[in-house]
């Protein structure tokens, strides 16, 4: 495993070398910012003509030249005002703007060869240390992420300390591209996004809607078995509700503009929790009823800028697998442990067994509640985590302003981490909504509240599932479990009877009766990643049987219909994720 700090320094330096190559190859290009990021680096450029893939090849070759020249990275200090004027004189307005926003009287400058940049550093000693790198792509980016500012071009790249690590990463990228859920969604006819409908608003096709229903049906049964009551709440609410919750004051940039109904402003909901608390408040609760567990597959709408929308992973309308638990303070540790185990159990059912777990603690400055309450809550959560037996890391200051939380990231088939489950303690909303219960002494007391999502949004989770399984979903999740394919018209009637019998046994099945060669049908259904094919010729018809093929071109031989149905039932149980 490479040293993370060394890799970050290398990648940040690679961004500088890339910028040097760009300004040398394309005079007049203005540079903006170029940080290292989790898997590489990028630099933003202001250039009239768009960069092409051929340009990336040229830039990469120029970077190799600069590396070979082995220029030292030399740091110097400069008066801030002098730096501002110097960048202005060169026409580097972005660097000038950055310098003008630095509070110190002096700024840090790094020079390597003919390229000078405003930067805190640190950097590698010289450009010759950059040996193993690759430029990956170009994307659009607004200056400072502000859509009202200049549109820039962002070139992404990556760099590693060893050739093997670079090759392994590029192989992983290639595999990730094959697994891209947007391509799979189109190839498998699951969903689409149409600009006539609106960016970030997903259209679920028949097979995609069926996949959603399978997940939702499992989710509902799982929650009822774990003591949750299911709720349904409206898609809009009075603006007053979001004033009480504080979303209107703190979350308005992600909320859509109000609509007026009978002279009263309403909002499309960005969160489900305010409505769940209003249900709780409809009657008085005793301590004997707690914990009260609410769950809803609630569709919410949040404004995301068009530049960050990405298939199912980043959308504007999505369904949260939302849950809220109202507990007495002394129940917090036990309930946190139950929710954690519930999350792990749910994720394992879908085939995820490797996790990164984080305890996110109180932010240093912006938080609500008393420090003593935070410490008590954090201690309860940490005690619960210790009892799980799982390793976890403490994310100091990573909690929300309203409470500490547990984040669970899952590792997919090619080693990528995805944030799905979150278990969030909340000091804020119980106070804002003034919720209470009657304690054992007959007095009103303030309960604690836990927000939790096991899968996150269903849209995003479907995207993660598709990429994890490369579209080849387990039998229990597959919208089509079996494709019947006849060799010719002589088997049509028999296949129709087989179709009905499979349906009667709750098998999701299609009958391919096209006048095509059987080899063509087999190839197409293999490409559609259907788990099983039942091939029928005269031999199978006469013997009241089927020739069974499993996904991956595996021939399972001849089976009676009853044996085939038994196989399907045995393999289509939630949690069985291999054929």
List 12, 30, 123, 451, catalytic entry: 451
Distance from chain centroid for Cα 379: 29
Q: In whole angstroms, what is the distance from residue 550 CA to residue 529 CA?
A: 10
Angle, in degrees to the nearest 10, between helices 4-25 and 53-69: 110
List 276, 405, 460, 571, catalytic entry: 405
Q: In whole angstroms, what is the distance from residue 532 CA to residue 528 CA?
A: 11
CB 314 within 8 A of CB 200: yes
Q: Is 261 helix (H, G, I), strand (E, B) or coil?
A: strand
List 55, 117, 322, 407, catalytic entry: 322
Partners of 80 in the beta sheet?
A: none
Nearest alpha-carbon partner for 321 in 219, 212, 409, 242: 219
List 123, 324, 452, 460, catalytic entry: 324
Angle, in degrees to the nearest 10, between helices 561-571 and 492-504: 40
Partners of 268 in the beta sheet?
A: 236
- First CA to last CA across the chain, in angstroms? 34
Q: In whole angstroms, what is the distance from residue 491 CA to residue 502 CA?
A: 16
Three-point CA angle 304, 306, 309, nearest 5°: 70
Annotation marks residue 322 as catalytic: yes
CB 475 within 8 A of CB 568: yes
Annotation marks residue 273 as catalytic: yes
List 179, 267, 273, 528, catalytic entry: 273
- Nearby residues of 281 by Cβ (< 8 Å), 6 or more positions away: 433, 435
Annotation marks residue 302 as catalytic: yes
Q: Is 386 helix (H, G, I), strand (E, B) or coil?
A: helix
Q: In whole angstroms, what is the distance from residue 361 CA to residue 395 CA?
A: 6
Beta strands (DSSP E) in 188-281 are 191-193, 202-204, 229-230, 236-238, 259-261, 264-268
What is the sign of the dihedral through the CA atoms of 431, 437, 439 and 442?
positive
Q: In whole angstroms, what is the distance from residue 193 CA to residue 386 CA?
A: 43
List 16, 302, 338, 460, catalytic entry: 302
Annotation marks residue 320 as catalytic: yes
List 153, 320, 331, 378, catalytic entry: 320
Annotation marks residue 165 as catalytic: no
* Residue 518 exposed, middle or buried by CB count within 10 Å (0-12, 13-18, 19+): middle
**Residues known to be catalytic:** 273, 302, 320, 322, 324, 405, 451
């Amino acid at each position: 495993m490479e040293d993370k700090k060394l890799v970050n320094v290398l990648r940040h330096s690679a961004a500088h070398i890339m910028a040097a190559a760009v300004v040398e190859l394309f005079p007049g290009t203005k540079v903006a910012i170029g940080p290292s990021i989790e898997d590489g680096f990028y630099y933003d450029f202001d250039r009239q003509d768009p960069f092409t893939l051929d340009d990336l090849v040229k830039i990469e070759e120029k970077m190799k030249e600069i590396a070979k020249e082995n220029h030292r990275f030399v740091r110097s200090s400069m008066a801030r005002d002098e730096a501002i004027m110097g960048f202005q004189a060169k026409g580097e307005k972005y660097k000038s703007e950055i310098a003008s926003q630095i509070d110190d009287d002096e700024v840090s400058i790094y020079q390597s060869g003919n390229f000078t940049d405003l930067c805190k550093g640190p950097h590698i000693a010289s450009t010759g240390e950059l040996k193993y790198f690759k430029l990956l792509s170009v994307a659009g980016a607004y200056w400072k992420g502000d859509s009202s500012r200049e549109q820039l071009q962002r070139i992404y790249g990556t760099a590693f300390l060893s050739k093997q690590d670079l090759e392994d990463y590029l192989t992983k990228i290639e595999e990730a591209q094959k697994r891209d859920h947007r391509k799979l969604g189109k190839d498998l006819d699951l969903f689409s996004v149409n600009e006539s409908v609106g960016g970030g608003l997903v259209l679920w096709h028949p097979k995609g809607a069926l996949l959603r229903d399978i997940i939702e049906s499992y989710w509902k049964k799982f929650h009822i078995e774990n003591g949750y009551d299911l709720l349904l709440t409206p898609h809009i609410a009075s603006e007053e509700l979001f004033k009480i919750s504080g979303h209107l004051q703190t979350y308005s940039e992600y909320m859509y503009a109000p609509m007026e109904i009978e002279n009263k402003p309403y909002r499309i909901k960005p969160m489900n929790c305010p409505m769940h608390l209003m249900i709780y408040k409809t009657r008085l609760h005793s301590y004997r009823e707690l914990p009260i567990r609410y769950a809803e597959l609630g569709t919410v709408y949040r404004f995301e800028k068009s530049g960050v929308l990405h298939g199912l992973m980043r959308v504007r309308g999505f369904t949260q697998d939302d849950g809220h638990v109202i507990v007495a303070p002394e129940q917090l540790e036990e309930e946190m442990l139950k929710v954690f185990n519930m999350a792990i159990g749910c994720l394992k059912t879908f085939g995820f067994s490797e996790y990164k777990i984080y305890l996110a603690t109180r932010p240093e400055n912006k938080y609500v509640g008393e420090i003593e309450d935070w410490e008590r809550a954090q201690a309860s959560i940490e005690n619960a985590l210790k009892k799980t037996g799982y390793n976890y890391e403490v994310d100091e200051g990573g909690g929300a302003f309203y409470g500490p939380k547990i984040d669970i990231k899952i590792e997919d088939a090619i080693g990528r981490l995805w944030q799905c489950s979150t278990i969030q303690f909340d000091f804020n909303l119980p106070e804002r909504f003034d919720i209470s219960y009657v304690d054992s002494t007959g007095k009103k007391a303030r309960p604690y509240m836990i927000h939790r999502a096991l899968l996150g949004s269903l849209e995003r989770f479907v995207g993660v599932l598709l990429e994890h399984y490369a579209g080849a979903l387990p039998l229990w999740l597959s919208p089509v479990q079996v494709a019947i394919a006849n060799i010719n018209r002589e088997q049509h009637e028999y296949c129709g009877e087989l179709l009905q019998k499979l349906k009667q046994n709750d098998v999701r099945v299609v009958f391919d009766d096209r006048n095509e060669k059987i080899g063509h049908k087999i190839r197409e259904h293999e490409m559609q990643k259907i788990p099983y094919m039942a091939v029928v010729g005269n031999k199978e018809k006469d013997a009241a049987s089927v020739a069974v093929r499993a996904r991956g071109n595996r021939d399972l031989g001849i089976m009676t219909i009853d044996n085939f149905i038994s196989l399907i039932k045995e393999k289509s149980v939630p949690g069985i994720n291999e054929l």
